[in-house]
Every structure is written in structure tokens, then in C-alpha cells.
């Protein structure tokens, strides 16, 4: 039987004094609520020292019929209640592998890394949803351990659970978790024309209008799309835009 403690069996956070909580607690709700109002994603703040959630945004799509207060009180038990058992085991493996990876990074650099992965949540009486999670450190302890982390959740552009990646915001490298080990890959690179095509598509322009704006033919714009689909390993422009945003390519 999986318990929420299994998420933390290989990671111990050095002590966080009450006065440190006092410094941040008055700001958490204010800033997190303001951020939640600017995005379509579901967001929550993970406390790795107390092993719970400090904030959960009000996004009904990802709450499985619960209120933000309910999910906040459940904390990591939310995963045990609403994620398929086999994927619960995957989430624990991801947690362990992520903590192992971050130990290899200098503490002052840890803020720059984000782990991303997809898994299903199962709202009662509804079809399972495949969602993408991204977790980024927000605050570290004085010893460099991850104390608070920001998690964002959105519908996944993948076709199955998994696809576990670690990225760094200051370079174009990525690491994928394969058979329990991190393997480094070169990051995806888009040309300026490809990025412009995606940005203009996000802006609602048609292929013909994008062609006019970029002084290219419609066939050339279509070729940009095909190249982007291949690079990002997606099947349509909506998935391409989601993936490019996720990877901070546009």
C-alpha cells in the first residue's frame, strides 16, 4: 500500500524555523492568488518541509470535484485518492529521481530547474484527464534544500503518462528520465521564422495573413509548421503552441 510518506523516503529537508514561516505566510495567499488570476493553469504551492500544500488555486478542471480547501487539506493524499495506482508508483519514482538530480546542482542554481511530467487524474464519474505537471523551486532552506516549490498543472499535450523531463531556464539542455536514469539531450531549437509563425498563430492570424506579415508564401508558412511539428514531436498546431510555450521557446 502506498502512503504519502513514500514521496519523501529519500529526501529530508533541513529544519525551517517558525520565524521563516512567519516571514512568508502573510504573502503567500496574496501573491499566489494574483498569479492564479493571470493564468489558465491550476497552481499550488508545495511545502516539502511540512509535506503538504500551502496554497491551491480555484481551478475546477483539476480539483476532481473538491474545493481548493479540500485539496489543500489532503495534500499529497490527493494523488493517492485520484491518480491510478500504477501512476502513483510512477510519481514516487519521479519524486525520488528529481531529488537525486537536484542534489547534483549547486544550491544557488536550483531555482533555475523545472521538472515536467504527465499523469492521469480521475475525477469521480468522469473520464480520466491526462495532465502535465511542472514543479519549480521557489524557496530553499539555509542549507540549500528545496523548501517551497511552485507546481502548475494543465492539460497535457502528450498521448500517455510519463514523458519526464528536467530543464534549465538558462540553457537549452534537457534531461529525460529513462529506466530510472537521467539522460541528457540537446534542447529543441526553432528558427526565428518558426518562432514568429507560432507567435502570430497565437495572435489569431491565418496562414495567409502570417505569410503576408513575414513576406513569405503560404506554402512556406505551411512548411514552417511541418518542421515545427517534427521538432516538437506533435501532430497539430494547437499541440505545437502548447509544447513551445511549455518549453519556453516562444
Q: Is the pLDDT of residue 61 over 70?
A: yes
Residue 220: which pLDDT band, with cuts at 50, 70 and 90?
very high
Mean predicted lDDT score pLDDT of the chain: 90
**Helices 192-202 and 237-246 sit at what angle, rounded to 10 degrees?**
110
Contacts 24+ apart (CB under 8 A), 74-81: 75/4, 75/51, 76/4, 76/7, 76/51, 76/52, 77/4, 79/4, 80/2, 80/3, 80/4
Which pLDDT value is given to residue 24? 86
Q: Which CATH number fits domain 4-186: 3.30.450.20, 3.40.630.10, 3.40.50.720, 3.60.21.10?
A: 3.30.450.20
Interacting residues of 204 by C-beta distance below 8 A, sequence separation 6+: none
More confident residue, 40 or 44: 44
Q: Please give the average per-residue pLDDT across 87-106, as a whole number.
A: 93
Which grid cell is 35?
Answer: 498569479
Please check whether the two domains, 4-186 and 192-246, share a CATH topology. no
Which pLDDT value is given to residue 7? 84
DSSP readout, 210-223?
HHHHHT--HHHHHH
CATH class label, 192-246: mainly alpha
Q: Please give the average per-residue pLDDT across 211-226, as a whole number.
A: 95
Q: 121 φ, ψ to 5°?
A: -115, 150
Which pLDDT value is given to residue 239? 83
Most confident of 88-92, 156-160, 237-241: 88-92
Q: CA-CA distance, 87 to 223, in Å (whole number)? A: 38
Domain ranges of the chain: 4-186, 192-246
SS3 at position 87: helix
Which pLDDT value is given to residue 10? 67
Which pLDDT value is given to residue 139? 92
Q: To the nearest whole percent, how much of the chain has pLDDT over 90?
A: 63
Torsion angle of the four alpha carbons 196, 201, 202, 203, in this order, in degrees rounded to the nearest 10: 90
Q: Is the pLDDT of residue 11 over 80?
A: no
Find, among 99, 79, 101, the residue nearest to 90 by Cα. 79
Which pLDDT value is given to residue 12? 80
Q: To the nearest whole percent, how much of the chain has pLDDT over 70?
A: 99
pLDDT in tens, 125-169: 899 999 999 999 999 998 889 999 999 999 998 889 999 999 887
Q: How many CB atoms lie within 10 A of CB 137?
A: 22
Amino acid at each position: 500500500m502506498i502512503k504519502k510518506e513514500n514521496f519523501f523516503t529519500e529526501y529530508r529537508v533541513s529544519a525551517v524555523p517558525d520565524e521563516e514561516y512567519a516571514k512568508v505566510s502573510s504573502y503567500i495567499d496574496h501573491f499566489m492568488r494574483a498569479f492564479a488570476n493571470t493564468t489558465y493553469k491550476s497552481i499550488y504551492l508545495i511545502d516539502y518541509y511540512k509535506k503538504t500544500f500551502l496554497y491551491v488555486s480555484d481551478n475546477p478542471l483539476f480539483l476532481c470535484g473538491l474545493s481548493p480547501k479540500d485539496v489543500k487539506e489532503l495534500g499529497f493524499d490527493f494523488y493517492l485518492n485520484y491518480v491510478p495506482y500504477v501512476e502513483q508508483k510512477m510519481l514516487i519514482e519521479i519524486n525520488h529521481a528529481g531529488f537525486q538530480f537536484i542534489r547534483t546542482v549547486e544550491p544557488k542554481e536550483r531555482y533555475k530547474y523545472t521538472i515536467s511530467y504527465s499523469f492521469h487524474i480521475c475525477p469521480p464519474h468522469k473520464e480520466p484527464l491526462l495532465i502535465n505537471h511542472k514543479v519549480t523551486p521557489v524557496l530553499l532552506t539555509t542549507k540549500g534544500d528545496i523548501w517551497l516549490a511552485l507546481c502548475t498543472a494543465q492539460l497535457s499535450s502528450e498521448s500517455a503518462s510519463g514523458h519526464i523531463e528536467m530543464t534549465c531556464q538558462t540553457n537549452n539542455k534537457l534531461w529525460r528520465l529513462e529506466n530510472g536514469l537521467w539522460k541528457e539531450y540537446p534542447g529543441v531549437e526553432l528558427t526565428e521564422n518558426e518562432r514568429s509563425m507560432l507567435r502570430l498563430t497565437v495572435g489569431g492570424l491565418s496562414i495567409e495573413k502570417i505569410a503576408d506579415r513575414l513576406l513569405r508564401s503560404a506554402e512556406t508558412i505551411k512548411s514552417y509548421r511541418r518542421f515545427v511539428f517534427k521538432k516538437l514531436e506533435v501532430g497539430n498546431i494547437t499541440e505545437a503552441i502548447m509544447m513551445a510555450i511549455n518549453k519556453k521557446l516562444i
